[in-house]
Copies of this chain bind each other. A is one copy, B any other.
Amino acid sequence: MDGYLKIRGIEQKSSHGTSVLVGGLFYFQIIIFCDILEDIMEKTILIGGKAGQGTAVTSHLIAKIFCHLGYYVFNYRDYPSLITGGHNFNVISISDKPISSHKDKFDIILALDQKTIDLHKKNLNKGGIIFDGKGLKPIFGNNVLIGKLFKYFGVDKSPIFKAFEEEFKEKAEMAKTAIEEGYNSIEIKEKLVKNGKEKYLLSGNEGLSLGAIAAGMDIYIAYPMTPATSILSFLAKRQLEQNILVLQLENEIAVVDAAIGASFVGAKTMVGTSGGGFALMTESLSLAGMVELPLVIFLGQRTAPSTGVATYTGQGDLKFALNPGQGEFPRVVVAPGDAKEAIIRTQESFYLSSKYLAPIIILGDKHLSESSYSFDNIAKSSISNSRFILDKIPLNYKSYQITKTGVSPRLVPGQGPVVRANSYEHTDFGNTTENAEWIIKMNDKRQRKQESIAKETKKLNPVSIYGKGRNLIIGWGSTKGAIIDALPKLKNFRFLQISYLMPFPKEEVLKEIKKSLPAGRQAKKIILVENNSTGLLGDVIAEQTGFIIKNKILRYDARPFTAEYLINEIHGK
């Protein structure tokens, strides 16, 4: 992809203004041409405006249409914490090859207000174009811009209309007028051809929700908190259709305790929140660990500490997520890297939680939650959906029966035998005890469970390796997209993504690290990439393997990585 960069280099020699529609055209076409030479087509569109002007919906429609045309799309959303006004924008990168991050520079800007132009013009690629929608009627104007955009790319009206009909049903008619208006106002400048099969378009939160439904979740309980809130609304809309129960309770403590109560009686339950709400749940996480009940928690990180930058991203909660609640108890922390992985990891979370009777934290962040990813398909995992509740009632049932795996066979209230959950240390029958022997036995039992889980997660691809090369990038969670997109442009780098952070895949990680340790005269690099300011995964790797990573690329300005950002940083190292 160095060629790609070079072309941009050529481009920069141009002295044409960036906001001139026709002037920019020539160069734009050169780019297209060169991209085709390289067998790759990439465009990045920024759409910006005030909150309330519909940038999110408009960007979603654009992304959707490109997906229908068979292009790969990544849609990044950037918005401040306010309801009307301010400045919002989305960056949509499209490509005929898989793409999982957005770019820093734009080919087209759709401006719903002047601020969009003022703020983003500087990042318009030379030869880029601004479609100015300010002064147009609200919403109508957005659709005019959509019309212009697709006319520009020589796309037929029919896929546009289809997308609007899917999204708005009967209400699509009015939009069509606007689209027509935009469509008729400019000339076709290039011709994007259909790029194979339609793509799926999915945000991280949609992935988590689909995964939860696929896993047979019965109940989702939450208190609204960015970036988890859209799971609540997504699932609430599907309550009847999917026969699930979706509840908002008075606060996060009520949420998690109700979830544990529901879990006690057999319901598959999930809760979702962000760091502040998660903090309030930590007493109950320790409870879930002690009473040994399934519980799936989605922790969507945002820029912390405290209220922080509420609608922006970050990975600052890793060590908090690994160590929440008093005492030692089995737990799992899994961090999906994109929307598709979110489906699978959520299913796995329900599986592990139900089978091993332990709390599971799905650790995501705003970038994963609210970005849209495209895929050829979005198959779910074939992992078991069992509740792991006994059908046959055993004689002399003991809620905390001591077993080799540490897992006690499970019954729920209503099946007959007395079932107990006890937050105090307990005997196998679940009665309170202060007896030293029982305390040791139960500790050992819980510890064995952690080991049993580790054996199982070993089989669930706890790490993934992308690319080839002697140098190693290590990351987790939503940085996956930008790292993968950067890889082709980096020499001799491969990427180790750690998905299961607890139980930590020690051997797998150590194996990769060892491969990239400097040997003989051959210099090798191991670089940690994290969206936080201290390199928390580095700490975890050191704790688990003894290996201390010195080389870190840390971004903590509340914004996600892009491939360009990473490439620059890595070339700087």
Contact = CB atoms under 8 A, between A and B. Distances in A.
Given A290-B305, A303-B439, A443-B533, A326 B434 contact: no
A424 B80 CA distance: 12
A182 interface: no
Interface in A445-463: 447
Contact of A434 (B81, B280, B282, B285): B81
A540 B317 CA distance: 17
A278 B326 contact: yes
Nearest to A285: B279
Interface stretch (A58-66, A138-146, A190-198, A544-552): A544-552
Interface of A: 80-81, 253, 274-280, 282-283, 285-287, 289-291, 301, 303-312, 314, 316-317, 319-320, 322-329, 423-425, 434, 436-437, 439-440, 443-444, 447, 532-534, 536, 539-540, 542-544, 546-548, 556-559
Nearest to A305: B327
Contacts of A279: 282-283, 285-286, 324-326
A341 to B, nearest CB: 23
Contacts of A309: 424-425, 434, 439
Contacts of A325: 275, 279, 305-306, 320
Given A434-B312, A556-B443, A557-B436, A423 B306 contact: yes
B425 A308 contact: yes
Nearest to A287: B306
A441 B274 CA distance: 24
B434 A307 contact: no
Nearest to A274: B326
A532 B440 CA distance: 10
Contacts of A543: 539-540, 542-543
Shortest beta-carbon contacts, A-B, top 7: A304-B327, A275-B326, A305-B327, A290-B306, A543-B543, A279-B283, A436-B557
Given A323-B322, A323-B323, A328-B532, A303 B557 contact: no
A547 B437 CA distance: 32
5 contacts: A81-B434, A290-B308, A301-B326, A320-B327, A542-B542
Nearest to A322: B323
A273 B439 CA distance: 23
B320 A275 contact: no
Contacts of A253: 280
A275 B316 contact: no
A253 B556 CA distance: 29
A306 B319 contact: no
B424 A307 contact: yes
A337 to B, nearest CB: 21
A437 B314 CA distance: 15
Interface-central residue, A312, A316, A325, by most chain B CB under 10 Å: A325
Contact of A324 (B276, B308, B320): B320
A326 B316 contact: yes
Contact of A546 (B80, B320, B440, B547): B547
Contacts of A286: 275-276, 279, 304-306
Interface-central residue, A80, A285, A443, A540, by most chain B CB under 10 Å: A443
A262 B274 CA distance: 27
